[in-house]
Structure formats: C-alpha cells, structure tokens
Amino acid sequence: EVQLVESGGGVVQPGGSLRLSCAASELTFSDSGMSWLRQAPGKGPEWVSAVGTGGSTYYADSVKGRFTISRENSANTVYLQMHSLQPGDTALYYCARGRFRWDLWGQGTQVTVSS
C-alpha cells in the first residue's frame, strides 16, 4: 500500500523557520508531481506548493518568497522549507501526490506559529 508520511511540524515563534518532510513508500515516486496543502482550524484545505517531476515549482501567492519546495527522488522524499512564519501559517500541513489534483494524501503534520 502506497503511503505518504509527513514529519517536521512543531511550534515556532513568528519569524521562525521549519522544514517539513514527506516520505513516500512508492518506487515510482519520481514519476509523480507532489504537493503540500494545509488546513487551518475551521477552514477548508488550501493548496500551498507543488513540484513537478522535472523539478518545476509552484507556489500560492500567500507563501511565495517564504516557502521553498524541493524533492529528493533517491530518497522518495519531498520537502517544504518554510521561513518567516506567521500566525496565519498555523495549520495542519499535508503532503499529497499530484500537482493540482491529488489522489493520495498523508496524515498531516501540525505547524503552530505562536509567541
């Protein structure tokens, strides 16, 4: 069974940084675009960023310039480096397979930005 497992969430002060990781148990990982989405309390899921199979990257306007997505195919892992975090970034962050349509989601990792 294919699985996506996120890690790296935590509590950070405003202006801080975190790096999220998503490990995929799939030998064809390199053939899949991958995304990060987030869901804040009381809100619907919000797409954050995506990386294509060739390494092209895409960002929501709300995180552009602060977040960086990358992938390491040899490790079946996708990362989300987050800088200048703000309270509005507080959410459950999900890794998902696909660039703009997602057919597999992880369980999520919580990011809380609070002083």
To the nearest whole number, what is the mean pLDDT of the chain?
95
27: pLDDT strictly greater than 70: no
The two structure tokens encoding residue 47: 């797409």
Residue 60: the pLDDT is: 98
Q: Which of 8, 31, 17 is nearest to 94 (CA)?
A: 8
- Single-letter amino acid, residue 112: T
Closest Cα to residue 6, out of 83, 111, 113?
111
